[in-house]
Amino acid sequence: MNLRGFFVSLFAVFFGLLMGAVIIYLIGKDPIKAYAVLWKGAFGTEKGFLSTLTKATPLILTGLSVAFSFRCGLFNIGAEGQLYMGAITAAYLGFKIAGLPSFIHLPLVLIAGALAGAFWGFVPGWLKAKRGVHEVINTIMMNYIAILFTDYLVTGPLMTNYVPKTPLIAKSAMLPTLLSSPPIYLSAGILVSLLCVYIVDFILRKTVVGYEVRAVGFNPYAAEYGGISIGRNFMLAMSISGALAGLAGAIDVCGVYHRFYGGLSGGKGFDGISVALVAQNNPWGVILAALLFASLRTGSNLMQLEAGIPKHIVFVIQGIVIFTVACERAFRTYFAFKERRKESA
Protein backbone atom coordinates (compact mmCIF):
# COMPACT_ATOMS: atom_id res chain seq x y z
CA MET A 1 0.00 0.00 0.00
CA ASN A 2 1.55 3.34 -0.99
CA LEU A 3 1.49 6.27 1.41
CA ARG A 4 -1.48 7.89 -0.34
CA GLY A 5 -3.51 4.68 -0.22
CA PHE A 6 -2.67 4.20 3.45
CA PHE A 7 -3.91 7.66 4.39
CA VAL A 8 -7.05 7.23 2.27
CA SER A 9 -7.87 4.01 4.13
CA LEU A 10 -7.00 5.59 7.47
CA PHE A 11 -9.27 8.55 6.74
CA ALA A 12 -12.06 6.21 5.62
CA VAL A 13 -11.88 4.30 8.90
CA PHE A 14 -11.80 7.52 10.94
CA PHE A 15 -14.72 8.97 8.98
CA GLY A 16 -16.71 5.76 9.35
CA LEU A 17 -16.19 5.73 13.13
CA LEU A 18 -17.04 9.44 13.32
CA MET A 19 -20.30 9.00 11.43
CA GLY A 20 -21.07 5.96 13.56
CA ALA A 21 -20.60 8.12 16.66
CA VAL A 22 -23.01 10.70 15.24
CA ILE A 23 -25.63 8.03 14.61
CA ILE A 24 -25.17 6.58 18.10
CA TYR A 25 -25.59 10.08 19.58
CA LEU A 26 -28.73 10.70 17.53
CA ILE A 27 -30.39 7.58 18.91
CA GLY A 28 -29.77 8.87 22.43
CA LYS A 29 -26.72 6.80 23.40
CA ASP A 30 -23.21 7.74 24.50
CA PRO A 31 -20.76 7.16 21.59
CA ILE A 32 -17.70 7.30 23.87
CA LYS A 33 -19.09 4.54 26.06
CA ALA A 34 -20.16 2.60 22.95
CA TYR A 35 -16.69 2.60 21.44
CA ALA A 36 -15.05 1.86 24.78
CA VAL A 37 -17.25 -1.21 25.15
CA LEU A 38 -16.62 -2.13 21.50
CA TRP A 39 -12.86 -2.04 22.11
CA LYS A 40 -13.25 -4.02 25.31
CA GLY A 41 -15.29 -6.68 23.52
CA ALA A 42 -12.77 -6.99 20.69
CA PHE A 43 -9.42 -6.61 22.48
CA GLY A 44 -10.00 -5.97 26.17
CA THR A 45 -10.37 -9.58 27.26
CA GLU A 46 -8.56 -12.77 26.37
CA LYS A 47 -11.72 -14.31 24.93
CA GLY A 48 -12.43 -11.19 22.89
CA PHE A 49 -8.89 -10.97 21.54
CA LEU A 50 -8.79 -14.64 20.54
CA SER A 51 -12.26 -14.36 18.99
CA THR A 52 -11.12 -11.35 16.94
CA LEU A 53 -8.07 -13.24 15.64
CA THR A 54 -10.22 -16.30 14.87
CA LYS A 55 -12.68 -14.20 12.88
CA ALA A 56 -9.85 -12.37 11.12
CA THR A 57 -8.19 -15.59 9.87
CA PRO A 58 -10.65 -16.41 7.03
CA LEU A 59 -11.11 -12.70 6.26
CA ILE A 60 -7.37 -12.38 5.59
CA LEU A 61 -7.59 -15.20 3.04
CA THR A 62 -10.81 -14.07 1.35
CA GLY A 63 -9.45 -10.50 1.29
CA LEU A 64 -6.26 -11.79 -0.34
CA SER A 65 -8.39 -13.76 -2.78
CA VAL A 66 -10.31 -10.71 -3.97
CA ALA A 67 -7.21 -8.49 -3.91
CA PHE A 68 -5.23 -10.89 -6.11
CA SER A 69 -7.93 -10.99 -8.77
CA PHE A 70 -8.24 -7.18 -8.59
CA ARG A 71 -4.54 -6.93 -9.42
CA CYS A 72 -5.28 -8.69 -12.70
CA GLY A 73 -8.22 -6.40 -13.44
CA LEU A 74 -10.79 -9.02 -12.44
CA PHE A 75 -13.63 -8.62 -9.94
CA ASN A 76 -13.99 -11.96 -8.19
CA ILE A 77 -17.39 -11.96 -6.49
CA GLY A 78 -17.12 -15.74 -6.11
CA ALA A 79 -14.97 -16.05 -2.98
CA GLU A 80 -18.07 -17.14 -1.07
CA GLY A 81 -18.72 -20.10 -3.34
CA GLN A 82 -15.03 -20.95 -3.53
CA LEU A 83 -14.88 -20.96 0.28
CA TYR A 84 -17.86 -23.35 0.42
CA MET A 85 -16.26 -25.74 -2.04
CA GLY A 86 -12.98 -25.71 -0.14
CA ALA A 87 -14.79 -26.29 3.14
CA ILE A 88 -16.93 -29.22 1.97
CA THR A 89 -13.92 -30.87 0.32
CA ALA A 90 -11.84 -30.51 3.49
CA ALA A 91 -14.69 -31.85 5.64
CA TYR A 92 -15.26 -34.87 3.38
CA LEU A 93 -11.59 -35.87 3.27
CA GLY A 94 -11.26 -35.07 6.94
CA PHE A 95 -13.79 -37.65 8.10
CA LYS A 96 -13.58 -40.11 5.20
CA ILE A 97 -9.86 -40.84 5.37
CA ALA A 98 -8.69 -42.63 8.47
CA GLY A 99 -5.38 -44.00 9.67
CA LEU A 100 -3.09 -41.33 8.24
CA PRO A 101 -0.63 -39.50 10.49
CA SER A 102 -1.41 -35.84 11.10
CA PHE A 103 1.63 -34.56 9.17
CA ILE A 104 0.18 -36.19 6.03
CA HIS A 105 -3.58 -35.96 6.63
CA LEU A 106 -3.74 -32.28 7.62
CA PRO A 107 -1.71 -30.91 4.67
CA LEU A 108 -3.66 -33.21 2.34
CA VAL A 109 -6.98 -31.81 3.56
CA LEU A 110 -5.83 -28.18 3.38
CA ILE A 111 -4.33 -28.59 -0.09
CA ALA A 112 -7.46 -30.39 -1.33
CA GLY A 113 -9.62 -27.54 -0.03
CA ALA A 114 -7.42 -25.00 -1.81
CA LEU A 115 -7.55 -27.03 -5.05
CA ALA A 116 -11.35 -27.24 -4.87
CA GLY A 117 -11.50 -23.46 -4.53
CA ALA A 118 -8.96 -23.09 -7.35
CA PHE A 119 -11.13 -25.17 -9.67
CA TRP A 120 -14.19 -23.11 -8.71
CA GLY A 121 -12.21 -19.98 -9.60
CA PHE A 122 -10.69 -21.45 -12.76
CA VAL A 123 -14.08 -22.04 -14.41
CA PRO A 124 -15.13 -18.34 -14.54
CA GLY A 125 -11.54 -17.45 -15.44
CA TRP A 126 -11.66 -19.86 -18.38
CA LEU A 127 -15.05 -18.54 -19.48
CA LYS A 128 -13.70 -14.98 -19.31
CA ALA A 129 -10.57 -15.87 -21.27
CA LYS A 130 -12.12 -18.11 -23.91
CA ARG A 131 -15.69 -16.84 -24.26
CA GLY A 132 -15.48 -13.27 -23.02
CA VAL A 133 -18.16 -13.88 -20.38
CA HIS A 134 -17.88 -11.32 -17.58
CA GLU A 135 -16.45 -12.79 -14.40
CA VAL A 136 -18.92 -10.95 -12.15
CA ILE A 137 -21.88 -12.78 -13.70
CA ASN A 138 -20.05 -16.12 -13.67
CA THR A 139 -18.88 -15.90 -10.07
CA ILE A 140 -22.27 -14.78 -8.76
CA MET A 141 -23.95 -17.76 -10.41
CA MET A 142 -21.27 -20.14 -9.19
CA ASN A 143 -21.78 -18.86 -5.65
CA TYR A 144 -25.36 -20.10 -5.77
CA ILE A 145 -24.32 -23.41 -7.31
CA ALA A 146 -21.74 -24.00 -4.56
CA ILE A 147 -24.03 -22.96 -1.70
CA LEU A 148 -27.00 -25.03 -2.92
CA PHE A 149 -24.80 -28.01 -3.81
CA THR A 150 -23.21 -28.11 -0.36
CA ASP A 151 -26.64 -27.64 1.26
CA TYR A 152 -27.83 -30.69 -0.68
CA LEU A 153 -24.85 -32.72 0.53
CA VAL A 154 -25.34 -31.92 4.23
CA THR A 155 -29.10 -32.49 4.06
CA GLY A 156 -28.65 -35.71 2.08
CA PRO A 157 -25.64 -37.95 1.46
CA LEU A 158 -23.37 -36.45 4.11
CA MET A 159 -25.96 -35.69 6.79
CA THR A 160 -25.29 -37.11 10.25
CA ASN A 161 -27.82 -37.81 13.02
CA TYR A 162 -30.60 -36.17 10.99
CA VAL A 163 -28.89 -32.79 11.36
CA PRO A 164 -27.62 -30.84 8.31
CA LYS A 165 -23.94 -31.28 9.06
CA THR A 166 -21.15 -33.69 8.22
CA PRO A 167 -19.52 -36.03 10.76
CA LEU A 168 -16.60 -34.68 12.78
CA ILE A 169 -13.29 -34.79 10.96
CA ALA A 170 -10.54 -37.03 12.29
CA LYS A 171 -8.17 -35.58 14.88
CA SER A 172 -5.33 -36.04 12.41
CA ALA A 173 -7.03 -33.47 10.15
CA MET A 174 -7.47 -30.84 12.86
CA LEU A 175 -5.24 -27.80 13.06
CA PRO A 176 -3.34 -27.54 16.34
CA THR A 177 -4.50 -24.97 18.88
CA LEU A 178 -2.13 -22.08 19.59
CA LEU A 179 -4.04 -20.31 22.37
CA SER A 180 -7.29 -21.05 24.12
CA SER A 181 -9.79 -19.40 26.42
CA PRO A 182 -12.76 -21.80 26.36
CA PRO A 183 -14.97 -21.78 24.44
CA ILE A 184 -12.64 -19.85 22.09
CA TYR A 185 -9.71 -21.73 20.53
CA LEU A 186 -7.24 -19.98 18.24
CA SER A 187 -5.83 -22.49 15.77
CA ALA A 188 -2.64 -22.47 13.73
CA GLY A 189 -4.81 -21.31 10.82
CA ILE A 190 -3.81 -17.73 11.68
CA LEU A 191 -0.18 -18.65 10.92
CA VAL A 192 -1.21 -20.23 7.59
CA SER A 193 -3.09 -17.08 6.62
CA LEU A 194 -0.11 -14.85 7.49
CA LEU A 195 2.17 -17.13 5.48
CA CYS A 196 -0.19 -16.73 2.52
CA VAL A 197 0.08 -12.95 2.84
CA TYR A 198 3.85 -13.22 2.53
CA ILE A 199 3.62 -15.64 -0.41
CA VAL A 200 1.11 -13.50 -2.32
CA ASP A 201 3.16 -10.36 -1.74
CA PHE A 202 6.29 -12.18 -2.92
CA ILE A 203 4.52 -13.48 -6.04
CA LEU A 204 3.18 -10.05 -6.97
CA ARG A 205 6.43 -8.14 -6.39
CA LYS A 206 9.24 -10.61 -7.07
CA THR A 207 8.13 -13.10 -9.73
CA VAL A 208 7.42 -13.11 -13.44
CA VAL A 209 3.92 -14.41 -12.72
CA GLY A 210 3.21 -11.42 -10.49
CA TYR A 211 4.65 -9.00 -13.03
CA GLU A 212 2.42 -10.38 -15.78
CA VAL A 213 -0.66 -10.38 -13.54
CA ARG A 214 -0.07 -6.75 -12.60
CA ALA A 215 0.69 -5.79 -16.20
CA VAL A 216 -2.61 -7.25 -17.40
CA GLY A 217 -4.38 -5.46 -14.57
CA PHE A 218 -2.83 -2.10 -15.45
CA ASN A 219 -3.44 -2.29 -19.19
CA PRO A 220 -4.33 -5.61 -20.84
CA TYR A 221 -3.83 -4.31 -24.37
CA ALA A 222 -0.36 -2.96 -23.66
CA ALA A 223 0.48 -6.22 -21.87
CA GLU A 224 -0.66 -8.26 -24.88
CA TYR A 225 1.38 -6.04 -27.20
CA GLY A 226 4.38 -6.85 -24.99
CA GLY A 227 3.84 -10.59 -25.47
CA ILE A 228 1.88 -11.35 -22.29
CA SER A 229 -1.11 -13.66 -22.68
CA ILE A 230 -4.23 -11.99 -21.29
CA GLY A 231 -6.31 -15.17 -21.27
CA ARG A 232 -3.67 -17.26 -19.52
CA ASN A 233 -3.29 -14.67 -16.79
CA PHE A 234 -7.05 -14.38 -16.35
CA MET A 235 -7.26 -18.12 -15.74
CA LEU A 236 -4.19 -18.15 -13.49
CA ALA A 237 -5.33 -15.16 -11.40
CA MET A 238 -8.80 -16.59 -10.88
CA SER A 239 -7.36 -19.98 -9.96
CA ILE A 240 -5.01 -18.50 -7.36
CA SER A 241 -7.81 -16.29 -6.09
CA GLY A 242 -10.10 -19.31 -5.76
CA ALA A 243 -7.38 -21.34 -4.03
CA LEU A 244 -7.01 -18.69 -1.32
CA ALA A 245 -10.76 -18.61 -0.70
CA GLY A 246 -10.94 -22.41 -0.72
CA LEU A 247 -8.13 -22.52 1.83
CA ALA A 248 -10.14 -20.14 4.04
CA GLY A 249 -12.98 -22.66 4.03
CA ALA A 250 -10.63 -25.56 4.75
CA ILE A 251 -9.08 -23.70 7.70
CA ASP A 252 -12.54 -22.96 9.12
CA VAL A 253 -13.31 -26.68 8.98
CA CYS A 254 -9.96 -27.91 10.29
CA GLY A 255 -9.38 -25.21 12.87
CA VAL A 256 -12.75 -23.94 14.10
CA TYR A 257 -15.82 -26.10 13.41
CA HIS A 258 -14.19 -29.52 12.71
CA ARG A 259 -17.09 -30.31 10.37
CA PHE A 260 -19.14 -28.71 7.61
CA TYR A 261 -22.67 -27.46 8.17
CA GLY A 262 -25.11 -25.42 6.14
CA GLY A 263 -24.40 -21.68 6.20
CA LEU A 264 -20.87 -22.24 7.52
CA SER A 265 -19.41 -19.18 5.82
CA GLY A 266 -21.77 -16.54 7.14
CA GLY A 267 -20.74 -14.21 4.29
CA LYS A 268 -16.96 -14.31 4.83
CA GLY A 269 -16.42 -14.53 1.08
CA PHE A 270 -18.41 -11.35 0.51
CA ASP A 271 -16.65 -9.65 3.43
CA GLY A 272 -13.41 -10.36 1.58
CA ILE A 273 -14.49 -7.80 -1.03
CA SER A 274 -14.75 -5.15 1.70
CA VAL A 275 -11.40 -6.16 3.16
CA ALA A 276 -9.67 -5.92 -0.24
CA LEU A 277 -11.20 -2.51 -0.99
CA VAL A 278 -10.16 -0.99 2.34
CA ALA A 279 -6.69 -2.55 2.01
CA GLN A 280 -6.31 -0.98 -1.46
CA ASN A 281 -5.52 -4.51 -2.74
CA ASN A 282 -2.26 -4.58 -0.79
CA PRO A 283 -1.52 -7.99 0.78
CA TRP A 284 -0.12 -6.53 4.01
CA GLY A 285 -2.95 -4.02 4.20
CA VAL A 286 -5.36 -6.95 4.07
CA ILE A 287 -4.20 -8.01 7.56
CA LEU A 288 -5.13 -4.64 9.08
CA ALA A 289 -8.44 -4.45 7.21
CA ALA A 290 -9.36 -7.99 8.27
CA LEU A 291 -8.57 -7.15 11.90
CA LEU A 292 -10.74 -4.04 11.63
CA PHE A 293 -13.80 -5.91 10.39
CA ALA A 294 -13.22 -8.83 12.75
CA SER A 295 -12.94 -6.51 15.76
CA LEU A 296 -16.15 -4.71 14.78
CA ARG A 297 -18.00 -8.03 14.61
CA THR A 298 -16.55 -9.32 17.87
CA GLY A 299 -17.01 -6.13 19.87
CA SER A 300 -20.55 -5.47 18.62
CA ASN A 301 -22.04 -8.20 20.81
CA LEU A 302 -20.73 -6.67 24.04
CA MET A 303 -21.66 -3.20 22.79
CA GLN A 304 -25.26 -4.35 22.46
CA LEU A 305 -25.28 -6.00 25.90
CA GLU A 306 -23.54 -3.30 27.94
CA ALA A 307 -24.28 -0.09 26.02
CA GLY A 308 -27.71 -1.03 24.67
CA ILE A 309 -26.73 -0.19 21.10
CA PRO A 310 -27.89 -2.48 18.27
CA LYS A 311 -24.94 -4.52 17.06
CA HIS A 312 -25.95 -3.86 13.48
CA ILE A 313 -24.50 -0.36 13.84
CA VAL A 314 -21.15 -1.93 12.92
CA PHE A 315 -22.52 -2.75 9.47
CA VAL A 316 -23.37 0.93 9.05
CA ILE A 317 -19.80 1.86 10.02
CA GLN A 318 -18.42 -0.78 7.66
CA GLY A 319 -20.58 0.53 4.82
CA ILE A 320 -19.44 4.13 5.38
CA VAL A 321 -15.79 3.05 5.37
CA ILE A 322 -16.23 1.19 2.09
CA PHE A 323 -18.22 4.04 0.55
CA THR A 324 -15.52 6.54 1.48
CA VAL A 325 -12.77 4.44 -0.11
CA ALA A 326 -14.91 3.92 -3.22
CA CYS A 327 -15.59 7.67 -3.52
CA GLU A 328 -11.88 8.45 -3.43
CA ARG A 329 -11.27 5.97 -6.22
CA ALA A 330 -14.16 7.38 -8.26
CA PHE A 331 -12.83 10.94 -7.96
CA ARG A 332 -9.30 9.81 -8.78
CA THR A 333 -10.54 8.01 -11.92
CA TYR A 334 -12.64 11.01 -12.96
CA PHE A 335 -9.78 13.51 -12.65
CA ALA A 336 -7.38 11.15 -14.45
CA PHE A 337 -9.91 10.89 -17.28
CA LYS A 338 -10.25 14.69 -17.43
CA GLU A 339 -6.47 15.04 -17.51
CA ARG A 340 -6.15 12.58 -20.41
CA ARG A 341 -8.83 14.39 -22.37
CA LYS A 342 -7.08 17.69 -21.81
CA GLU A 343 -3.76 16.26 -23.03
CA SER A 344 -5.35 14.75 -26.15
CA ALA A 345 -7.21 17.96 -27.05
- What is the pLDDT, as a whole number, of residue 337? 66
Residue range(s) defining the domain that contains residue 111:
3-344
The model carries a pTM of: 0.93
- What is the pLDDT, as a whole number, of residue 31? 92
- What is the pLDDT, as a whole number, of residue 334? 65
* Total number of domains in the chain: 1
Name the DSSP class of 197.
H
Yes or no: say if 168 and 257 are a contact pair by the CB < 8 Å rule.
Answer: no
Q: What is the pLDDT along the chain (345 residues), one digit of tens a residue?
A: 567 777 888 888 898 999 999 999 999 999 999 999 999 999 999 999 999 999 999 999 999 999 999 999 999 999 999 999 999 999 999 999 988 999 999 999 999 999 999 999 999 999 999 999 999 999 999 999 999 999 999 999 999 988 899 999 999 999 999 999 888 999 999 999 999 999 999 999 999 999 999 999 999 989 998 899 999 999 999 999 999 999 999 999 999 999 999 889 889 999 999 999 999 899 999 999 999 999 999 998 889 888 888 888 888 988 888 888 877 767 666 666 677 777 666
Measured CA to CA in angstroms, residue 77 lies from 1, 134, 165, 220, 266 at distances of: 22, 11, 26, 20, 15
End-to-end CA, the chain: 33
Alpha carbons 93 and 312: distance in angstroms, whole number: 37
- What is the pLDDT, as a whole number, of residue 230? 94
For helices 46-71 and 79-96, the axis angle rounded to 10 degrees is 120
State the burial class of residue 236 (Cβ atoms within 10 Å of its Cβ: 0-12, 13-18, 19+): buried
CATH number, position 188:
1.10.3470
